[in-house]
Amino acid sequence: NAGVTQTPKFQVLKTGQSMTLQCAQDMNHNSMYWYRQDPGMGLRLIYYSASEGTTDKGEVPNGYNVSRLNKREFSLRLESAAPSQTSVYFCASSRKENTEAFFGQGTRLTVV
């Protein structure tokens, strides 16, 4: 049972490059989330998808786009990476809006 799987685990980008962070869950969950974690800032919500076909902005959506490709997959895209986007990114999912959330192991992104 893989749970929530994120790829890649580590990535180094140059300023201005683009990339997509992938997230997939195998628990048949409806809701999926993207967070970033920075020292002293806790986890901040970037985007949220309550169900397939829907997305909603979180606390820090600027500079990011998301795609809920299907029920399993929720990707996060950085169109033009900036050093301020250096962070650890976490994906999470839950069966419904009011049930337990499960997290992936994170993607450590460095933008130079």
Partner 1 sequence: KQEVTQIPAALSVPEGENLVLNCSFTDSAIYNLQWFRQDPGKGLTSLLLIQSSQREQTSGRLNASLDKSSGRSTLYIAASQPGDSATYLCAVRNQGGKLIFGQGTELSVKP
- Which residue ranges make up the site for partner 1 (CB under 8 A)? 31, 33, 35, 40-45, 48, 50, 56, 58-59, 90, 92, 94, 97-106
Nearer to partner 1, 40 or 53 (CB): 40
| C-beta of 66 vs 92, nearer to partner 1 | 92
Spell out the residues 6+ positions from residue 22 whose beta carbon is closer than 8 angstroms to its own: 6, 7, 73, 75
Q: How far is the CB of 81 from partner 1 (least distance, A)?
A: 22
Please state the closest distance from residue 104 (CB atom) to partner 1, in A.
6
Nearest residue to 7 (alpha-carbon basis) of 87, 64, 89, 95: 89
CB 43, CB 90: distance < 8 Å: yes
Give the Å distances, CA to CA, from 77 to 5, 17, 74, 98. Answer: 16, 11, 10, 27
Query: Closer CB to partner 1, residue 35 or residue 74?
Result: 35
Query: Residue 10 or residue 14: which is nearer to partner 1 going by CB?
Result: 10
